[in-house]
Structures are given as C-alpha cells and as structure tokens.
Structure 1
Amino acid sequence: MRISELAREAGTTPRALRYYEEQGLLRPARLASGYRHYDPQALRVVRHIQLLLSAGLNTAAIAEILPCIPDDATVLAPTCPELLDALAVERDRITTSIDQLAGARAVLDRLIQAGARARDQF
C-alpha cells in the first residue's frame, strides 16, 4: 500500500510515517518510481509505534522494542529477554507519571469544587 493509504488506515499522517522511517522504525520498499510501498504488516508496526510513543517512549527505545514484538499474539519474542529490565524501568516511569497526573487532577478537582461553592454563594 502507498503512504497515503497507510496513513489513513493508521489514523496518522504521511509526515509521521516518513518520520518513523527516518528513525528506522519503518522500512518501506521503494518502487522504481521512488514511491514508498508498505506491506500489510506495516499497519501493525505503525500501531505498535503509536502505542509505544503514547506511553512516552522515545524512538530509540521503540527501535529496540519493535523487533521483540513479532506479531499481535506474541507478548515478547523469546530472543529479547534482555529488554525486560528496561521495560520494567519504563513501566515504573509511566506509573510515576500517572501518580503525578492523578495528584494534579485531585488539586484541580478541589479548586473547581471550591470555586463552584464560592460562585453559588453569590
């Protein structure tokens, strides 16, 4: 499939797909015309990239992780146990971020409630 088709299927932009390619995360074939051609597996790879980016991982970490996710059914390829420690560190970082965001939300909730009470008194 062409870049515009993959972008549409993945809910992203051709620019993002070119960035993933620049970072070594995607490797499309090149047609004689110079156009990129993505195989059907590219959609799965793009979805994994998007998920890992949304988790806050950088492209260098994603480049190490992607080869260890051979398909949607396998959790981690048996050849990649060395990633477990790094993944645990990333999970802990995400957990810390979640806790911090939950604390910020709690502060905002209190401010909103106090503001609503003050507004209702007038």
Structure 2
Amino acid sequence: MLIGELAQRAGTSTRTLRYYEQHGLIRSRRSTNGYRAFDEAELRVVHEIRALLAVGFDLDDIRPFVACLRAGHATGDVCPDSVAVLRRKLDEVDTCLARLNTVREKLDHQLNEAIAHREKSCLRRTVP
C-alpha cells in the first residue's frame, strides 16, 4: 500500500509516517516510480507505535515493541526487552504518583490551615 493509504487506515498523517520511517520504526520499499510502498504488517506496527505514544512512551521506548512484532509475535509486549520497558515505565509512573500524592497532601494541609485561619479571623471580627 502507498503511504497515503497507510496514513488513512492508521488514522495519522503521511508526515508522521515519514517521521516513524526516518527513526527506523516502520519500513517501506520504493517502487519503480519512487513511491513508498508498505506491507500490510506495517499497519499493525503503526497502531502499536501510536498506542504506546498515547500513554507516554518515547520513540526509544517503542523500539523493543516494534522488534517484537517484527519477530513474528502477535503483540509487541511479550518479548523480554518490551517487558523490561514496561517495568521501567511502571516504576516511573509509580514514582510520579507518589510525588503527586505528596503534593496533594501538602495542598490539602495548606487549604485546611487557610480555612481554619480564615474562620478564626472572621469570628474575631464578629464577636464584640
């Protein structure tokens, strides 16, 4: 299939596909007239790339998933290198969640202190 058809079927742009190709994530062959031609398997690879990008993976993180698909696996997440990336990414998310939880606790405490201070100030003004 040509790049325009792949873009349409994958729900992306030809520019994005060229970007993926430039970074070695998808493969094409050139037809005699110089057009990029893609195998049907590249559609699955593009879907995998887009799904991983959507949840925060970067291009280097995605490489093991693409390699796993190219090795003939039905999904890109069953190979050891992909599992290692998933574990690392999960650790990153857990660290981020812990940081966010700490920030939330501090903000909650600050808000409660501010409300308590405000209520005390209001009571002092209304009591003769």
TM-score, reference length from structure 2: 0.65
Q: Distance in 2 between matches of 1:87 and 1:94?
A: 10
Which 4+ stretches in 1 moved above 6 angstroms?
A: none
Q: Are the aligned partners of 2:48 and 2:76 in contact in 1 as well (CA < 8 Å)?
A: no
CA pair 87-4 structure 1, distance change in 2 beyond 3 A? same
CA pair 33-68 structure 1, distance change in 2 beyond 3 A? same
Q: CA deviation at 1:72?
A: 3.5
Q: Distance in 1 between matches of 2:26 and 2:76?
A: 20
The structure, 1 or 2, with the larger RCO (C-alpha pairs under 8 Å, 6+ apart) is: 1
Q: CA RMSD in A?
A: 2.6
Q: CA deviation at 1:64?
A: 2.5
Q: Distance in 2 between matches of 1:36 and 1:28?
A: 6
Q: Deviations over 1:50-88 (max 9, x none)?
A: 011112111112122211233435751xxx324433320
Q: Distance in 2 between matches of 1:35 and 1:85?
A: 37
CA pair 84-14 structure 1, distance change in 2 beyond 3 A? same
Q: Hey, what does 1:39 align to over in structure 2?
A: 39
Q: Hey, what does 1:117 align to over in structure 2?
A: none
| Alignment of 1:94 onto 2:96 | no
Q: Percent identity?
A: 37
Q: Are the aligned partners of 1:3 and 1:36 in contact in 2 as well (CA < 8 Å)?
A: yes
Q: Which amino acid letter does the alignment assign opposite residue 9 of structure 1?
A: R
Q: Deviations over 1:18-54 (max 9, x none)?
A: 0000110001111111100011111101000001111
Which of these two proteins has the greater Rg computed from alpha carbons? 2
Q: Distance in 2 between matches of 1:95 and 1:5?
A: 39
Alignment gaps of 5+ in structure 2:
108-128
